[in-house]
Structure 1
Amino acid sequence: MSSQINIYHSVHTALKMVAFTFDDGPNPQYTPEVLDIFNECNGKATFFMIGEKMKEYPDIVSDVVLKDHEIGNHTWSHPMLTQLNQEKCREELELTHSIIMELTGSTPAIFRPPFFDYNEEVNSVVMDFNYDVIGALNPDATDWEMPGVEHIISKSRNHIGNGSILLFHDGFGDRSQTVEAVRTLVQEVLSDGYQLVTISELLKSARK
């Protein structure tokens, strides 16, 4: 029997809430820069972290938690999960699940597959962790390709609305364009009356 795949790219809510999410960290340069942006406006964000990077930079993980942001599972080593057998897939999730609990004291509730590489076999493993699987509305922003600040802004701006989930990256390479784009987008959404919330806060608002 196949398991039903349910990936949240946005949530249905009447509230003006947007979730900014950041993949592939923690990173010693760019994660703190992102944290500063959200600290300045008292907004919250969600970080889908790679387990081996969490092990390398535990102090940054602690800082994310201290500032009340959310951490989600993004696997241990960022593989294409559909190319792994179920045992290896489970190991990728379990190792990161464990280090999140170890470093944060909390059980992760959300997961994002690397490269959005996902199928029924992967989903059957993920379901055992009771994760909500999180996508995003703006992969066309392609911030990981360094397409330019204005490209990242304009493509992301097109997807902003109640319940939007936006994807950015704070790890793997030069993320200076992402930081500058996010700085501008954060000010725009706040000016438009949106709250910046974590994924779990966004899901909770939709389930009331």
Structure 2
Amino acid sequence: MPMFVQTGSAAATEEPARLLSSPISQIYHDIENHDINDTDEIHASSFSYSNLRQSHSRVNTVIYPPKDQIPDVNSPQVKAWVAEIDWSKVPNIPVAPGLQEIPHFPQCPPDDQLDLSTCWWSCAGCVAESDVVTCPNKNTWGLTYDDGPSLASRDMMYYLKEKNLTATFFIVGSRVLEYPDILKEEVAQGHHIAMHTWSHSGLTTLTNHQIVAEIKWSEKIIRDVTGLTMKYVRPPYGDIDNRVREILRQMGYTIVIWSAGWDTNDWRMLQNQIQEWEIVKSFESHLGTRDNITSSVGKPGGPVTLEHDLTNATVSLSKRLIPMAMEKGLTPMNLAHCLSDITPYQHGSKLGSNGALEKVTDGEGKGSFRGMPGMEEQDFKSTLTNSATTMTTATVFWWGILGLALLTSTTLGL
């Protein structure tokens, strides 16, 4: 598999980064009381749909794995999915070690013990030719958000709607258990949704069967809620090697990372390790170097950024970065649009000229409004419910785990 090293990427450069020393209980407290506030008032005054109709999704949690946990590989369903893979084509690369405290956050070996032939992005900065890291055309911007859906996603969607923009949302399956209606709203507003696994574990630290379970369970819940089967996947932390690539390829996925240097570092605001103004200043500096971005075919390209729609703070930051980039001539768009991919899902979904999802066809060629089989447009325009103003326990727990991973990565020099 052709590969190259993406200069500027290094081990553990996405979240979780090196959070300052802080107990997990304090991390929980900060998320609950700092980032999420007055959500109901913001969104209730932001949307003005006509013919609103109350629509609450109910997900039968019993049929899915527990939130934020690697799914059991011994279930009949997972065994059936595993049987669909041609394992003779999967490289025999060992499962990567994880940090002692956080087993599924990858730990890099010393440089002299690193096998470069595995094309391990996390530790070698290696990008395969098939990995998406840039937009192919100059002055286009692949606008992407990870880790939702969340309560903050609605504010992000409202802003994008105001600007007549669409983005790609990389969805964590466990979050869909909590916020299925928000995922529906993303689809209804024409955004592109993509895969970000079930539990947000580093994929190189998982066994072959665990990788299948992570992807297919997330795929199932997203399809159950939206009718869509994802085509693009971003591995958590960008953690991928050739073993993981082949498994994902056989499941129909195109791998997406992000452009070197275009991780906005918004996740570092979680523990005040970095201030919003510092990120804005850094982003402005990168805008001045965008002409140096080269696409996979060697021509001038556009950036694919890494942002998050998990908290109000990261959404607020994004609302500052977008107009800055547009003033400099960058055009934000969802990833499928920037790649000129008019079928951004695995079963016939199409994008309109502005990059918004227009029509979806199922395997029999039947169409439905914006990807939601059997539903009319008004079903998507649900009223905004009185949501809790704090993150759910599961989301808080997940961010706490990230903080602990970062404390360890600092000690180990990752």
Measured against the shorter chain, the TM-score band is: 0.7 to 0.9
1:29-72 CA-to-partner distances (Å, cap 9, x unmatched) read x1111112111100111110100111211000011001101111
Whole-Å Cα distance in 2 between the matches of residues 139 and 166 of structure 1?
A: 5
Structure 1 letter corresponding to 2:148? G
Structure 2 letter corresponding to 1:201? H
1:37 paired with 2:173, answer no
Whole-Å Cα distance in 2 between the matches of residues 140 and 105 of structure 1?
A: 31
Whole-Å Cα distance in 2 between the matches of residues 110 and 11 of structure 1?
A: 14
Whole-Å Cα distance in 1 between the matches of residues 188 and 238 of structure 2?
A: 29
Instruction: State the match for 1:12 in structure 2.
Output: 136
Question: Is contact 1:80-1:117 (8 Å) kept?
Answer: yes
Question: Is contact 2:234-2:257 (8 Å) kept?
Answer: yes
1:132-153 CA-to-partner distances (Å, cap 9, x unmatched) read 2111124553211102112222
Give 1:159 shift: 4.0
Instruction: State the match for 2:150 in structure 1.
Output: 27
Question: Is contact 1:156-1:166 (8 Å) kept?
Answer: no
Aligned pairs (5 A) from 1:119-134: 119-134=241-256
1:157-197 CA-to-partner distances (Å, cap 9, x unmatched) read 444445211111122xxx33322221111112233343321
Normalised by the size of structure 1, how large is the TM-score? Answer: 0.87
Instruction: State the match for 1:154 in structure 2.
Output: 281
Q: What is the root-mean-square deviation in Å for CA atoms of aligned residues?
A: 2.0
1:176 paired with 2:176, answer no
With a CA cutoff of 8 Å and minimum separation of 6, indicate the structure with the bigger relative contact order: 1
Question: Is contact 2:263-2:307 (8 Å) kept?
Answer: no
Question: Is contact 2:262-2:304 (8 Å) kept?
Answer: no
Give 1:9 shift: 1.6
Q: 2:204 aligns with which of 79, 82, 89?
A: 82
Whole-Å Cα distance in 2 between the matches of residues 164 and 157 of structure 1?
A: 13
Structure 1 letter corresponding to 2:136? H
Q: 1:204 aligns with which of 323, 337, 340?
A: 340
Q: Secondary structure at the match of 1:107?
A: coil
Q: 1:167 aligns with which of 306, 310, 331?
A: 306
Normalised by the size of structure 2, how large is the TM-score? Answer: 0.46
Structure 1 letter corresponding to 2:330? Y
Larger Rg, first or second structure (1 or 2): 2
Whole-Å Cα distance in 2 between the matches of residues 93 and 157 of structure 1?
A: 35
Question: Is contact 2:140-2:330 (8 Å) kept?
Answer: yes
Identity of aligned residues (%): 28
Q: Secondary structure at the match of 1:47?
A: strand
- The size of the alignment, in residue pairs, is 200
Say if 1:140 and 1:68 are closer, same or farther in 2 by CA, change over 3 A.
closer
Report the structure, 1 or 2, having the larger helix content: 1
Q: Unaligned regions of 5+ residues in structure 1, if any? A: none
